[in-house]
Amino acid sequence: MKEFWRLGKIIRILIKHGFGNIVERLSIRPGTSPVDQEEKESTTQNGFPSPHRVRSALEELGPSFIKLGQLLSTRADIFPPEYIEEFTKLQDQVPPVPFNHIRDIIQKELRRPLEDIFAEFTRESIAAASVAQVHMARLFSGEQVAVKVIRPGIDKEIRKDIRLMNAIAKRAEKAFEIARVIGAVNLVKEFERIIFKELDMFIEAGNIEKFAKNFELIDEIYIPKVYWDYTSKSVLTMEHIPGIKMDQVDKIKAHGIDPKEVALIGLRSFSRQLMDFGFFHGDPHSGNTIVMFDGRVSLVDFGIMGYLDDETMQHIANLFLGYAEHDYDMVMEALLDTELINEEAMDLKGFRRDLMDTSEPFYGRSLQTVSVKEVYDQVIHLVYKYKIRLPRNLLLLFKTFIQTEALGKILGSDASLLEITKPYAKELIKRSYLAKSALRNIRKDTLAMGNHLKVMPKLIHNILDQTAKGKQRIEFRHTGFQEINSQLINSINRVIIGVIISASLIAAAMVLNAPQHIFSFTINFLGLKGVPLTAILGLTGYVIATILAVWLIIMILRSRKL
């Protein structure tokens, strides 16, 4: 019943924003209605819904659809630039959940009263998004922390919406060719897989720990500490990072920090994530990037992360290095290796020419003279023209690239991201080359072994066949076992003596270091006045062990089988 009510609300919102014709074609409401002027204005010249209207509808549909729109903002391979631009504007700032609900979640998850967990806990949230909100707190040990709490009931709400999204996506693929082309059902499945990871605070805490390990030797980047004793599936407690948001340039300058140096730190961090670790922060906007008062940069909010395998890292390094050195053969080879372009299905010469025409105007220009949107639009034009389908992680990487470059531009940096990335790309290629050399040797030995294994069954068959025909004779001789038996007994005896020596030394050490003394004797010898029995036993053990050890060494040396 609740899902039917929710479906009715979705329909009303779509009609309100002028999508009644689309609702009609999806057959999710009875009857027909004329297309009014507002609905005509909701579509573009090619008949698609206008980007602004789509964004407005998603915002009113609530958290699940806002998050879906944010996912779509990374799918530049299937949505035109004007839609991507609107999707990136989606804001999930919502009114905070009342404090009593937050208290209940924390107490249920951490199984203690809130007053027993935190010495102080602010009732007002410092940030409230569609799936979680953040409160400041202080531990009893004195550390200031930020506590991120999943909004109550949000997982059930999202599950219901996803079921409706699936139903609508299936109908859309039947009703609209464009829905089949972009794969509406697969987009919903991808959204379902991603959103529930974002709702699991254990996953985010693990991301923070992994990032901290990657940057533990790099002083200019600081990753907050996770307090695992105060973390659960719905509650994440992490170190609070005092500082300035990266886009507050005037405040950064007021604290005597050079914004251009901050930009370089960000660019170097991005390069390391990409070329050294293959694990990158997927949402480095100004709210998630903090400039600390000592000049270091800290990253927070690790809910959206990207992963690259070793092979993809290698291809990206070749791609960056090819661009940095104007080597388009290297760029084309990298694109072919990643299978992003197909030499049989596209005009490679035309693509190479268009790539050069797109890229060359941006060479040698600083961030201040490059429009991120201009670069983005040019690349997406090529993606559309040559029907290139990009994997999600590469699309997320592209979005991260744009955000990183945009922050550098805000900070007034005159650096080039390609130049900053070049040494990291060269180092990655060098490491990969050395690894490949080692692998080539292993492969060579493996192939030789494989060849031997191939012929072994035939050789064994020939030997047995010759033997069965009486042409060969196999003899087994067992001689010299008496000597082996004697050597084995001697070896076992030596091992036993070695064990006795070790046990004697350990026992003697334990007795000598024992705090209790038994039967102390009073004597006058070499300045000693009181000798406990435990000391005598310990010394005796040392003497016996020493004598046995010397004897064993002499026997081994005499046998000349050391």
Mean pLDDT of 226-249: 94
The candidate with the shortest Cα–Cα distance to 48, out of 178, 167, 221, is 178
Task: Give yes or no for residue 244 having a pLDDT over 80.
Answer: yes
The DSSP bridge pattern shows strands 221-222 and 297-299 to be: parallel
pTM of the model: 0.64
Rg (CA), the chain: 36
Is pLDDT above 80 for 193? yes
DSSP state of 161: H
Decide if pLDDT at 241 tops 70. Answer: yes
Give the C-alpha separation, 359 to 353, whole Å: 10
Average pLDDT over residues 88-95: 71
Higher pLDDT: 236 or 489? It is 236
Ordered by start, the domain boundaries in the chain are 1-91, 93-240, 247-475, 481-559
For residues 140-146, give the mean pLDDT: 95
**pLDDT at site 559:** 64
Ramachandran area for residue 484 (φ above 0: left; ψ -120 to 50: alpha; else beta): alpha
Q: What is the pLDDT of residue 221?
A: 94
In terms of C-beta distances under 8 Å and separation of at least 24 residues, what long-range contacts does 150-156 make, across chains too? 150/105, 150/199, 150/201, 150/234, 150/235, 151/97, 152/97, 152/101, 152/104, 152/105, 154/63, 154/130, 154/199, 155/196, 155/199
Q: Catalytic residue positions?
A: 283
CB 416 within 8 A of CB 264: no
**Per-residue pLDDT, 370:** 58
Report the chain's mean pLDDT, rounded to a whole number. Answer: 77
Which is higher by pLDDT, 344 or 534?
344
pLDDT at 59: 81
How many percent of the chain have pLDDT more than 70?
69
Question: Mean pLDDT over residues 30-40, rounded?
Answer: 45
Q: Whose structure tokens read 């010495």?
A: 119
Packing angle between helix 63-72 and helix 154-175, nearest 10 degrees? 60
Task: Report the C-alpha gap between 297 and 267 in whole angstroms.
Answer: 11
* Pair of tokens at residue 265: 């730190």
- Pick from 211, 220, 350, 186: nearest CA to 294: 220
Bridge pairing between strands 127-128 and 244-245:
unpaired
Q: What is the pLDDT of residues 273-315, one digit of tens each?
A: 888 888 888 878 777 889 999 999 999 888 888 888 887 787 7
- Phi and psi (nearest 5°) for 144? -85, 130
The angle that helices 348-359 and 372-385 make with each other, rounded to 10 degrees, is 170
| Calpha distance 440→421 (Å, rounded) | 28
The answer on pLDDT for 35 being more than 50 is no
